[in-house]
Amino acid sequence: MADTTTLKYTAEHEWLQIDGNTAVVGITAYAAEKLGDVVFVDLPDSGDEITAGTVVGEIESTKSVGELFAPANGTVLEINQAMVDSPELVNSDPFGEGWLIKISFTELPALLSFDEYTALIAE
């Protein structure tokens, strides 16, 4: 499980674990809880170009369908096939085995720190 205090966050409830110009992206425990039991995930393909703020996938639960937004401009390097095969990982381990995609980015938009994200969801 990633150290949630060192991750960066988006206002759309995604987390990024950044290493150089790559990032592993997932949704937060808060988002997973709000979605309910995840039953299906639709992700972009490896090699797809993505644009920050655009919808790149969907996360379907027993309660609703949520959109996955690209957190930065870049290229999808890898998708988490284990999570596609077992979408419940988003609920059981959102900061670990439930990660969604790995991207290569050219630059990052302004992201939230752990404290800023915590304040956002406390409102």
Q: Tell me the two tokens of residue 40.
A: 């299906």
Q: What whole-number distance in Å separates Cα of residue 53 and Cα of residue 89?
A: 24
- Render the burial of 3-17: b for 16+ CB within 10 Å, e for the rest: ebeebbbbeebbbbb
Domain extent, residue 31, equals 8-108
Question: Does a structural domain hold residue 81?
Answer: yes
Q: What whole-number distance in Å separates Cα of residue 58 and Cα of residue 40?
A: 8
Q: 29: domain CATH number?
A: 2.40.50.100
Average pLDDT taken over every residue of the chain = 94
Residue 2 has pLDDT above 80, yes or no: no
Residue 1 has pLDDT above 60, yes or no: no
- Banded pLDDT at 3 (limits 50, 70, 90): confident
Specify the pLDDT at position 123.
77
Look at the chain and report how many structural domains it folds into: 1
Question: Does a structural domain hold residue 44?
Answer: yes
- Banded pLDDT at 13 (limits 50, 70, 90): very high
Question: Does a structural domain hold residue 122?
Answer: no
Q: What is the pLDDT of residues 27-83, one digit of tens each?
A: 999 999 999 999 999 999 999 999 999 999 999 999 899 999 999 999 999 999 999
Q: What whole-number distance in Å separates Cα of residue 59 and Cα of residue 51?
A: 18
Q: What whole-number distance in Å separates Cα of residue 84 and Cα of residue 86?
A: 5
